Structure 1
Amino acid sequence: MLVNFLQRKQIEFILWRPKITETQPTLLIGTIATSSHNPYENFREIPLQQSKEFPELWFIAANQCNLQDGQVYFYWFKIINTNPYENQAQIMYCTDPTATTVDRRFLAPIPPENQGVASFDPASVILYQKGKLIPCDPQGETVTWENNDYLNNLPPNNRLVIYELPPRWTIIAPSGETEVGIGTFQDVLSLFDTNCTAPDFSEVEALRKGCAHLRELGINALELLPVSDSDDKFEWGYGTANYLAADFDLGHPKTQIAPTASVDLAKLIQTCHQQGVRFFIDVVMAFSRNNPYRNLNFSDFYVRYNSNDPEGFNRESFGGDLFKYNYWVEGYQPLSGEKGSLVPSREYMKVFIAHWLEYYRVDGIRIDSVNNISNYDFVEEFKNLSREIWKQRGGSSDRFLVVGEELSVPLALIQQNRLDSLWNEHFKTIARKVILGQNSYLDNSFEWNVKKLIDCRFLGFTDGSQVVNYLTSHDVGGFGNERLYNYLVNNGVYDSEKRIKLAFVCLLTAVGIPMILAGDEFGDRHDLDISDEHSNKKQVDPVNFNRLRDDWRQRIFQYVTRLVRFRTTFDALAVNDTNFIHGDFNEGKRVVVWQRGVGENMVVVVANFSDYGTPNPVNPTSEYVIPNFPSTPVGKQWQEITQNRLVPSEWIGREPIFPWEAKVYALV
């Protein structure tokens, strides 16, 4: 899709909607003098020109700036601060709000005027080559795409297993103490590419050359927590600052002098696609922190938290500025390039996602805190635009997904076609209760808790692609939200291996798209006290891949791996068909059996959510009979997936059961 604003950025430095223009905005541009005490001595200011057709648009053609071909330039715009909650009439240099790369090693200088103040904004970075302004990293590296014929080789939505990965990981210091580090894009690449070693985590066995942890696990979709640039360093990155730029810190391994965020992220996405793995971008659109528009034009784009503005009602800013999504103006429309009615924040976000879909070629979107955006009309516009761009790129509808996260699970977002899919917090709530043998608040019947867990249609959804199910998400703050291992221990279950395996059987055989929080696949635990859900500790409590060395955790990992590979390849789990064929709640038993698929394409799960076990189970005559177990078609046999064994015909539907265990049978 040709976005007018992005097209113009190829040949112009362009600034959209500065609030105060009585003083002409200027472009501060130059090359960094690394050998000088003043790194900005080679910079100069160039006045921007005001568009005659669109007075809110200021620009200067790149070929009028006397730039040297093949040179990387750093730049800012000089503007007057419009934030009404800060000192007025301040003059500052701000980052280009649509910069495709930023370099946080170099912060904006103070303008020479008396009113000049430090903005502390990072430098915008661009390459000038053959008359074009080309996105690049600070040393001139540019993104190239090879083997682009991948769109229809990606898995469809109904076969996805998503891996949610926070880019904050644990390292073991020489002293033996646990320290938090940044999992850069290059470190993440080592989870897929056996030829790569994690540059900042080379001492972690699972991240060494030849391992490729996620390739072994078999997931086919990666969702990194926000990868757009933010001020957050050892947190999750939800305070987005520069929407079009890949995060500076995630592109800056400690072994490198200069960051390579854009080429590193593109290589990671390209590797994922070559391995048939989808890449989801996590977007934060309710608020931002230190975005240039908070100074450029606060009143057009933002509302202050806890103010009397109706657009701020019942919204949380998390220390940032809330975007306005119902403030209509007339003027330049960045997508079409024409004049018309628009909401500035909506158009800004549309430019942002158009860039990520075209430049980084992402194929899935997770929208953070949908209700906090507080505008379902915009959410639908955003979804529709994203899908249209994907379609124009040649992608099929069933290989793209826009997912919303809202813990109240508002079905209206699906029923009104605002979103494709929702995070299913109900799944987590029910799963955690039933593996304790308890009912959730969603139903007083244990059997119906399991039914609602396994088949989302009992919750009001109509298709499995409409929900993303999970046992744990990155929101681990507060009791009941902690990692699965910690949840079990906190509820008095210290032999957690069986319960974790049982939970994963539920997750990976349920109707819906399963998502695994990094580390849960081997029973990782917290390193910090995250009992206070409002503290930032949950954002700095990382995944610790070192724990994969524990024998019992390795057993969990191998168990989950078999289930993941089964989930992504077996047809019966890609359809909605689900039938509950047995329930046993006598004499303390809580046994539920469900069937996925029909005919010769079938899976049967026998799940025991109780302490009951078949007496003397090793005795050949011991059995637990499931009266309605499906018959075996001619030429077929049953395979138990978690133990990778064929079941003798005389044992079918009669195998002993064990406490807190599930068996997964498939027709093969």
Structure 2
Amino acid sequence: MTDQTPVDVTFDLSLARPDKLGADPRDGGTNFALFSNSADKVELCLFDEGGQHETARITLPCMEGGVWHGFIPGVGVGQRYGYRVHGPYAPKKGHRYNPNKLLLDPYARALMGNIQWDDSLFGYKVGEDDLTFDERDSAAFMPKGVVVDDSYAWDRSDALRTRWDQTVIYEAHVKGLTMRHPGIVQADRGTFAGLSADPVLEHLTKLGVTAIELLPIHAFANDNYLIEKGLSNYWGYNTLSFFAPHQGYLKSWDIQEVKTAIDRFHAAGIEVILDVVYNHTCEGNEMGPTLSFRGIDNESYYMTGEDKRHVYDTTGTGNTLNVQHPMVLRMVMDSLRYWVEVMHVDGFRFDLASTLARDSDGFDRSGNFFATIRQDPVLSAVKLIAEPWDIGDGGYQVGGFVWPFREWNDKARDDIRAFWRRDDSMTGPLSERLSGSPVQFDHDNRPATSSINFVAAHDGFTLWDTTAYNDKHNEANGEDGRDGHDNNLSDNLGAEGPTDDADIMEARRRRVKAAQATVLLAQGVPMILAGDEFGQTQDGNNNAYCQDNEITWLNWEEADDSLTRSAAAAIALRRDLEGFVDTNFGNADLSDGKATRWHHPEGREMTEDDWHDGGLRCLAKRITTASDCDILMIFNAGDPAEFTLPDGEWVQRLDTSADDPAADATHEGSLTVDWQSVVVLTQDYAPEE
């Protein structure tokens, strides 16, 4: 708020430019530019510091290529603003212009204020159909854009660029990670200041993760129907702005708080990856509010069917962003580049990425969106992760994306859960997942690191809850338990929910440690759900998208240190074993045989009959690295098993059943592998003369 809005606003046409969209402060003023292809007139509305009083309403004087623009001297950083766009209100033709509705600039870098739900936010008359026209002014209930300065004095300006084969991802929520942390001051909890506080950085560093993947931090709407039920849009998959950070995660509207947090993560050697939602917006279907895109240029921003009154929905949220339109695609690319070049993030996880690859003929892995990213010198160099599905026809596309994209692998999640649940006939599927899922990813020159392996994520049970609940318990969501997945591949091990039974608790700890170690020792890129490393529970809620409370906030004071030690030991082992991660899916041939072999507990290599033994619960993967190190990983989902070792002396490097999982021991001939545990042994390898 360094500049005051002038009473008399005049444009300097000599400085007006259409090439940079949004509000660009420069040359002693600000250039405003907004794309609206079918508008008749665009009005810029300036507001006072509180964002409640409109101090000026002026028509942007220039337009070319659908970009309305103008430069105003004297308007600078801190100015609050919005738009009113005039044009036809013709829903059947896809047009929903209504100048009574204040609209948020899609390129706004910061927001001030929150949506206050009111019927005036809708372009039609609430209670009637969407063909009606509402004349009420919505400005009092809308957040305002804020003109910001992109400059920042970075302590660490160079990118980390951690190699994929050295990457371990930690999926977390800004608020959920910090709200109950006793080491974070109360005023910082739930914000970026708390996220990058010393106790969080120390924990992540001790654990050994190399990247934090944040659930959506783009500004999002808190849905009115959830508010009315006393709930909220906790996860944030309902984007309002693709440039501005969510104001609820800031102590003020100042986006420098985000940069400070990212800088601190980089100083700790941890990359920052954003979960981004470019497939839809919070405006929903034609019965939704008019907050930004709908009122600016509905026909351009959203996919419509033959009946342009209705938007096309492959996301289950009411609308689908039309990235086939060049200016909409440009907005998304500008947003991505902004977060990399200005905010210094290290990569993105694309929510419902199959939607972004759709054209008129359906899913196209070589389509416009992904081709544009692949050729971009900025974006192609950062980490790119696809959630490879949506709800449309042909939307499930695990393994269907192109390099350099990586993909969430729910097949790994399901098979790892099933193996440790002691389901029959799971040795074969487990071997696939331990190898990086070659059936899905070993094609088109893709590496094994294409697979993002996980056993739990924000959507679904926590890892602990897969061992504590047979059924979902989503009553708190207000949908009578109808929401959420039913196929959780879980097993409560003898009691539904919390228990004081020591044997059940020990069984749960064993299974959690073993499953987490499996993810961390599989080829590909491991991802840990925040809190899984110490036993976080959501009380059996497997769809906690609307729970901004102690159901989802990590309970640091109840952390089980034995689980954390086991996870940290597995991560350290993965890092320390040179050549362990094989981007070639273990297909390399060495002078004396294959680099990867599979062993039966009796000591022989697995036979075809062994792979079809439905009751087999124990097997080992043996890796011979290029540096002549033998690694033997034994996975025992069953009872204690005597395992015959290959010849020679073996050094035990990990035992998830032990109090000290990283304690060394030597074994020769055989060893007893305890129930529900993972054991890793190594020996220097010297081929026979």
Residues matched between the structures, number:
556
Q: Could you say which residue in structure 2 is the equivalent of 1:582?
A: 599
Q: Which moved more, 1:215-224 or 1:12-21?
A: 12-21
User: What is the Cα deviation at residue 567 of structure 1?
Assistant: 2.2
Q: 2:30 matched to 1:16?
A: no
Q: CA deviation at 1:267?
A: 1.5
Measured against aligned partners, the alpha-carbon deviations of 1:3-55 in whole angstroms (never above 9, x if no partner) come to: 94259835453333325533x322222432x5xxx9426x212321123x43x
Q: 1:62 aligns to what?
A: 72
Of 117, 126, 142 in structure 1, the residue corresponding to residue 137 of structure 2 is 117
Q: Any conservation in 2 of the 1:413–1:419 contact (CA below 8 Å)?
A: no
User: 2:397 maps to what in 1?
Assistant: 410
Match of 1:61, SS state, is: strand
- 1:472 and 1:511 map into 2 onto residues whose CA distance is 17
SS at match of 1:15: strand
Q: Which runs of 5+ in 2 are unaligned?
A: 1-17, 122-133, 181-187, 223-231, 284-290, 471-490, 494-503, 587-594, 602-609, 685-689
1:102 aligns with 2:120: no
CA distance in 2 between counterparts of 1:62 and 1:613 reads 77
1:279–1:508 Cα change, 3 Å: same
CA 1:157–1:537 in 2, change beyond 3 Å: closer, same or farther? same
Q: What is the letter of the counterpart of residue 346 of structure 2?
A: D
Judging changes above 3 Å, is the alpha-carbon distance between structure 1 residues 418 and 62 closer, same or farther for their aligned structure 2 residues? farther
Paired position in structure 1 for 2:278: 285
Matched, 1:5 2:4: no
Give the corresponding residue for 2:314.
Answer: 315
Q: Does the CA contact (< 8 Å) of 2:81 and 2:145 recur in 1?
A: yes
- Between 1:354-363 and 1:581-590, the stretch displaced more is 581-590
What CA distance in whole angstroms lies between the structure 2 residues aligned with 1:602 and 1:362? 37
* Separation in 2, partners of 1:188, 1:404: 24
Alignment map for 1:85-164 (pairs within 5 Å): 89-104=98-113, 115-118=135-138, 120-127=141-148, 134-135=149-150, 143-149=152-158, 151=159, 153-164=160-171
Is 1:565 the counterpart of 2:572? The answer is yes
Look up the match of 1:332. none
Q: How does 1:195-274 map to 2 (within 5 A)?
A: 212-232=202-222, 234-252=233-251, 258-260=252-254, 262-274=255-267
CA shift for structure 1 position 282 = 1.1
| Per-residue deviation, 1:468 | 0.3
State the secondary structure of the residue aligned to 1:433: helix
Corresponding residue for residue 449 of structure 2 = 465
> Residue deviations 1:73-101, cap 9 Å, x none?
11111223758389874522211111011
1:484 to 452, 463, 485: 463
Residue-by-residue CA offset, 1:611-650 (whole Å, 9 max, x unaligned): 2345xxxxxxxxx322x36x56xxx9553465323333xx
Q: For residue 225 of structure 1, report the CA deviation from its aligned partner.
A: 0.5
Are 1:325 and 2:307 an aligned pair? no
Pick closer, same or farther for the CA change 1:13–1:272 going to 2, 3 Å: same
Which of 427, 438, 452 pairs up with 2:412?
427
User: Contact 1:108 / 1:122 at 8 angstroms: preserved in 2?
Assistant: no
Q: Which residue of 2 aligns with 1:201?
A: none
Aligned partner of 1:505 among 495, 512, 517: 517
Q: CA deviation at 1:405?
A: 3.5
Alignment of 1:362-401 (within 5 A): 362-373=345-356, 374-375=358-359, 376=363, 381-386=368-373, 389=376, 391=377, 397=381, 400-401=383-384
**Residue among 344, 353, 375 paired with 1:361:** 344
Residue aligning to 1:176:
none
Equivalents in 2 of 1:404, 1:17: separation in Å? 29
Match of 1:639 among 644, 650, 653: 653
Provide the rounded CA distance (Å) in 2 between the counterparts of 1:587 and 1:282. 39
Q: Is the alpha carbon distance of 1:105 and 1:237 closer, same or farther for their aligned partners in structure 2, counting shifts above 3 Å?
A: closer
Q: Which deviations, in whole Å up to 9, do the C-alpha atoms of 1:467-508 show, x marking residues without a partner?
A: 1000011111xxxxx222222222231430111111112111
How much identity, in percent, do the aligned residues show? Answer: 17
Deviation at 1:292, TM superposition (A): 0.9
- What secondary structure, in the 3-state scheme, does the structure 1 residue paired with 2:423 have? coil
Letter paired with 1:57: V
* CA RMSD, 1 decimal: 3.7
Q: Secondary structure at the match of 2:278?
A: coil
Aligned CA distance change for structure 1 residues 84 and 90 (closer, same or farther; 3 Å)? farther
- State the alpha-carbon separation in 2 of the partners of residues 125 and 79 from structure 1: 19
When residues 352 and 154 of structure 1 are mapped into structure 2, their CA distance, relative to the original with a 3 A threshold, is closer
Match of 2:533 in 1: 521
The TM-score normalised by the length of structure 1 is 0.74
Give the 3-state SS of the residue equivalent to 2:516 in structure 1: helix
CA positional deviation for 1:367 = 0.8
Whether the 8 Å contact between 2:110 and 2:244 is mirrored in structure 1 is yes
CA contact (8 A) 1:83 1:294 kept: no
Residues 276, 379 of structure 1: alpha-carbon distance in 2 compared, 3 angstrom cutoff:
farther
Secondary structure at the residue paired with 2:236? coil
- Paired AA for residue 661 in structure 1: S
Give deviations 1:591-619, integer Å, cap 9, x for gaps. Answer: 111123425334321111102345xxxxx
- Aligned residue type for 1:91: N
Match of 2:673, as an amino acid? I
Check if 1:167 corresponds to 2:144. no
Flag the 1:348–1:172 CA change in 2: closer, same or farther, 3 A: closer
Measure how far apart 1:412 and its partner are: 5.8
> Does the Cα contact within 8 Å between 1:160 and 1:514 map onto a contact in 2?
yes
Q: Which residue in 2 is equivalent to 1:40?
A: 53
How far apart are 1:380 and its partner, in Å?
5.2
> SS state of the match for residue 324, structure 1?
coil
- SS in structure 2 of the partner of residue 147 of structure 1: coil
TM-score, structure 2 as length reference: 0.72
Contact map agreement 1:76 1:108 (CA 8 A) in 2: no
Structure 1 residues 250 and 349, CA, compared in 2 at 3 Å: closer, same or farther? Answer: same
Q: Secondary structure at the match of 2:408?
A: strand
What SS class does the counterpart of residue 671 from structure 2 fall into? Answer: coil
